Amino acid sequence: MASDYQRVVLLAADLSEHSEKAFNWYVQNFHKPENKVVVVHTPEYSMGPSEMSTSKIEESIQEANAKTEMVKTKFVEKMSECGMNGEFVALEDRNPGHAICKYAERINATFIVTGTRGLGKFRRTMLGSVSDYILHHAHVPVLVCRLKYLLKDDKY
Amino acid sequence: MADSETKTAEHQRQVLIAMDESHHSDDAFDYYMKHVHRPDDHVVILYVPEYHNVIQSPMVMTDVAVVSDMMHEETERIKGVVSRLSKKLKNIGGSVKSIGGNPGEVIVKTSKDIGAAVIILGSRGMGTIRRTLLGSVSDYVMHHSHIPVLVCKHPDVHKHHGHKGSDPDHKH
């Protein structure tokens, strides 16, 4: 199947166990050696309006950057372990779902992979769900790695 | 990765593809074949028939003969759909299941029954509201599935969305 077309897989990641399991699942079940994988992370700045002092803001940013570095290190390592053609990109946006969808368009992603936090209906409404956002707004197929059955026994 | 190699040799992966008569399902199937399919996959196409005609005509419920005629028509139609879907599996291992009921629930239950590794769906079709980008069935499956779900979006979905004029998507 000699074609110029290369699959580009966009994988949304953070430091959670869900994210790691989603990545592992993708590798075992969907990945093909010729796929290019782009792992993206959107740093979340936990800042309320009441914390607007300069030092607090700096602290927030440093924390977020440190987290991003950790995610980067983790996934770059995982990608090289699998011997996959991959890269890591940090995206800046208050809305992770929005950032991911826009980026997917930009790089002409073949599909997006996301894990879920397994939030119940109520918390999803209150906290917002990134995977829900992506499902509703992405212009490409979305693989949502719901892995309830894996949370207990770690087969992956 | 010796582990995954022995796994695939031991058993086939069960892939559940939920389909209806809309072209969204066909697109989802084609997408699966192009980007996801692995040679040892066992594909189960699940069709959840909806008895359109009978349900939408409450007034004929009083005439048994008419109802049974309609049911017969529906049964024939469903056979036709199953036959068409079976043709898709010509060169790959698989089977077609036709199970009645609430589509979302049937899909999730079937995925458990067959031990599916993944569920593949289109994003619309299956009796959805035209305005939404994500159908009610895909939404249900998304939130009730215990296994990963691939929701295939076709570029068409976004051309039609927000267009007040003609909607070429006549099928349900």
Residue A38 clears pLDDT 80, i.e. is over it = yes
Confidence category of residue B127, pLDDT binned at 50, 70, 90: very low
> What is the pLDDT of chain A when averaged over all its residues?
84
Q: Within a 10 A sphere around the Cβ of A135, how many other Cβ atoms?
A: 24
pLDDT recorded at residue B74: 84
Q: Which of B10, B16, B151 to mutate to test the interface with A (most CBs of A within 10 A)?
A: B151
B152 touching A (Cβ < 8 Å): yes
Size of interface A-B (CB pairs under 8 A): 55
Residues found in chain A? 156
- Return the higher-pLDDT residue of A96 and B5: A96
Q: What is the largest CA-CA distance in chain A?
A: 58
Confidence category of residue A148, pLDDT binned at 50, 70, 90: confident
B33 touching A (Cβ < 8 Å): no
Residues of chain A positioned with their CB less than 8 A from the CB of B153: 138-142
| Domains in chain A: boundaries | 8-44+54-149
| A26-35, A119-128, B92-101, range with the lowest pLDDT | A119-128
Secondary structure of residue B169 in the 3-state scheme: coil
Backbone angles phi, psi at A17, to 5 degrees: -65, -35
Q: How far apart are CA B166 and CA B160, in angstroms?
A: 9
Q: How far apart are CA A104 and CA A110, in angstroms?
A: 8
- ipTM value for the complex: 0.83
| A28-37, A71-80, B49-58, B150-159, range with the lowest pLDDT | B49-58
DSSP conformational letter for A50: G
Counting residues of chain A whose pLDDT is more than 90, the rounded percentage is: 50
Judge contact between A60 and A32, C-beta under 8 A.
no
CATH class of the A8-44+54-149 domain in this structure:
alpha beta
pLDDT recorded at residue A122: 67
Residue among B23, B72, B69, B19 nearest B47 (CA): B19
In chain B, the domains with their CATH numbers are 12-155 (3.40.50.620)
Residues 6+ apart with CB under 8 A from A110: A7, A8, A9, A35, A140, A141, B35
- Answer whether A141 sits within 8 Å of B13, measured CB to CB: no
pLDDT recorded at residue A2: 47
pLDDT recorded at residue A39: 96
- Answer whether A149 sits within 8 Å of B146, measured CB to CB: yes
- Answer whether A139 sits within 8 Å of B153, measured CB to CB: yes
Highest mean pLDDT among A40-49, B101-110, B130-139: B101-110
Strand boundaries in A16-100, DSSP class E = 36-41, 85-90
B157-171: pLDDT as tens digits = 444 444 344 444 444
